[in-house]
Structure 1
Amino acid sequence: MKNFLLIAILSFLIFSCGTGNKSFSGSSQDATTKNDTVRIANDSLEYEIIIVEPGFQSWLVSQPPRGFYGQATLEGKNRQFVAEYNNRVLQPNRFSRNLYAEQINYDPTIDYGYEVNYLLYNYFLYFQEKYNQKFIAGRN
């Protein structure tokens, strides 16, 4: 699979960002996780992104709707976000390994489509807000 590494990294990133923050009973956590799981897949390009982050779905509803930003805008922002994120992965002495576990393989030459770029962009915004991180491409 061409983008298996991207899938694995994003999955690991997402799982590592939201674990261990609070204690919940098993049934409440399972219900929250099911409600806050976003899956994007395209079999022809062989990629899949799964975002499992409690609160992301409800936060996403409050953001500008799909179509508000053009795909080119989202791709440009995502390139900046991924570059900044990967930069932080390479600096474990400055940035927490719990937040910045592995690099993201986002290839700007691949057309991931609007939905992937929209959700990835919004996930980076959510990540910044939830974990009090400031990225160069983030909105202020």
Structure 2
Amino acid sequence: MNIKALFKILILLLLMALGIGSCTSNKKAVEVTSQEKKAFEQKEGDTITIANDSLEYDIIIIEPGYNVWLQSIAKPRQYYSQSFLENRNNIYVREWNARVMQPQRYSPNLYELQINYDFNINYGYEVNYQLYNYFIYFQRKYNQRLGPFVPRI
């Protein structure tokens, strides 16, 4: 084998190593506070209904600890604009629904049902606020990532 061929193989191996290295995830688990851990460890089921009566739309969330988390840890109402919430919910709902359709890849125990969220409907602030916060709660509790954003409080 001549030096040119050896050099090409070395370059190819180097590029492959860099490619493999860039495929590994640098995503660290989100740091969860002790107050959040208490909410996540709740055993009794909370049932939250998010509704917009004028649109006849509601979401029912049955998740132990969510209401405690929402009341004590989530950012207060009006912290985010409605357009911010709608944009994030758009991303999260699309990814959520994609995962529901792939039970062989994503746990059907986490992603049970699709969310029927029409991006062209104005559901109002409260629906968007609570849906967004559920996505943040869910991602932090189950160490999931539904989009390119780190789920922060």
TM-score norm. by structure 2 comes to 0.65
Q: CA deviation at 1:137?
A: 4.7
Q: What do residues 47-102 of structure 1 show as CA deviations (whole Å, max 9, x unaligned)?
A: 11222211111111212100000000000000000011111112121101111122
Of residues 75-84 and 59-68 in structure 1, the stretch that sits farther from structure 2 once superposed is: 59-68
Number of equivalences? 110
Q: Which amino acid aligns with 2:96?
A: Y
In the alignment, structure 1 residue 93 sits paired with structure 2 residue 104: yes
Partner of 1:129: 140
Change in CA separation of 1:78 and 1:62 when aligned onto 2, cut-off 3 Å: same
Identity among equivalent pairs (%): 57
Out of 131, 134, 143, the position equivalent to 1:120 is 131
Q: Which amino acid aligns with 1:134?
A: R
Name the SS for the 2:60 alignment partner.
strand
Q: Which amino acid aligns with 1:48?
A: D
Contact 1:77 1:137 (8 Å CA) reproduced: no
In the alignment, structure 1 residue 37 sits paired with structure 2 residue 47: yes
Q: What do residues 2-61 of structure 1 show as CA deviations (whole Å, max 9, x unaligned)?
A: xxxxxxxxxxxxxxxxxxxx9xxxxxx6xx33xx22222233211112222111111112
| Unmatched 5+ stretches in structure 2 | 1-40
Q: C-alpha root-mean-square deviation of aligned residues, in Å? A: 2.0
Partner of 1:10: none
| Unmatched 5+ stretches in structure 1 | 1-21, 23-28
* Higher radius of gyration, 1 or 2: 2
Out of 122, 136, 140, the position equivalent to 1:111 is 122
Name the SS for the 2:55 alignment partner.
coil
Contact 1:80 1:136 (8 Å CA) reproduced: yes
